Amino acid sequence: MEVITLQVGHFANHVGAHFWNFQDESAAHEELEEDDSVDYSRLFQCVEVQGVATWRPRVLSIDRKGASGATAHGAVVTTNGDGARDDEEVAVQNLHTDSWDGQLELLRSEVVPKHPFQVDLEAEALEDGEQRGIKSSAEYSFGETVRTWSDYLKVQLPRRSVYELERVHHGISPFAFYFEGLEMRGQEEEEILDKARRQVELCDQLEALQVIYDMQDGMGGVSELLMRWAKEEMPKSGKFL
């Protein structure tokens, strides 16, 4: 029986990052102690990546555009030889309409550098088996260097688990009111609900939803849309807010 976590909003994702870091540390400790009293498959899904079993959180993270930082799992990651995204040319072509036959120019933001902690996490296990240690918190100076919640997140979130609102940009768009989130209708609402449904489909028997959300801005309205969907499609599942 599985539990899906919904993290809606920037502050909620900060709380969620600490929650998943704690779960990761707890699972590692119990593995060393050979203690199997806790069933982590309720919160995590075991997937095989290149022949190696990997545990991924059963989570859907929703935030503003650009709030995922350098680990923008929600973005297309396929690149061509020069580092440009393969989908850029297709995206430009899709912008052409019958009412505009002029030239289109693609403006691309600069790549956000990864936090040193994330760089060390990726290099922790080298191909030759050599282990590269993680530094202490003081050496990373998290209090001064962290830009967003993904900078200190230990677990890897797959692309399907993260959604960034297309029309609400981090640090730019106000999105200050509950009712602005309720107005998130149309294609964007469906994309969010499709990602939530995908998480449900990956469960054998969903027991409950754990919801962490921001109440002080439009993310409260987005959370309401998700809860309405959950009540309609999963009336018997538990909800922990």
Q: Is the pLDDT of residue 81 over 70?
A: no
Query: Average per-residue pLDDT in the chain?
Result: 80
pLDDT above 70 coverage of the chain, percent: 81
What pLDDT is recorded for position 64?
A: 92
* CA pair distance 136, 151, nearest whole angstrom: 15
Q: How far from 194 is each of 15, 212, 229, CA to CA, in Å?
A: 24, 19, 11
What pLDDT is recorded for position 72?
A: 56
Structure tokens at 42: 């309720």
Min mean pLDDT across 76-85, 87-96, 180-189 is at 76-85
Burial annotation 176-196 (CB, 10 A radius, 16+ → b, else e): eebebbbebeeeebeebbebb
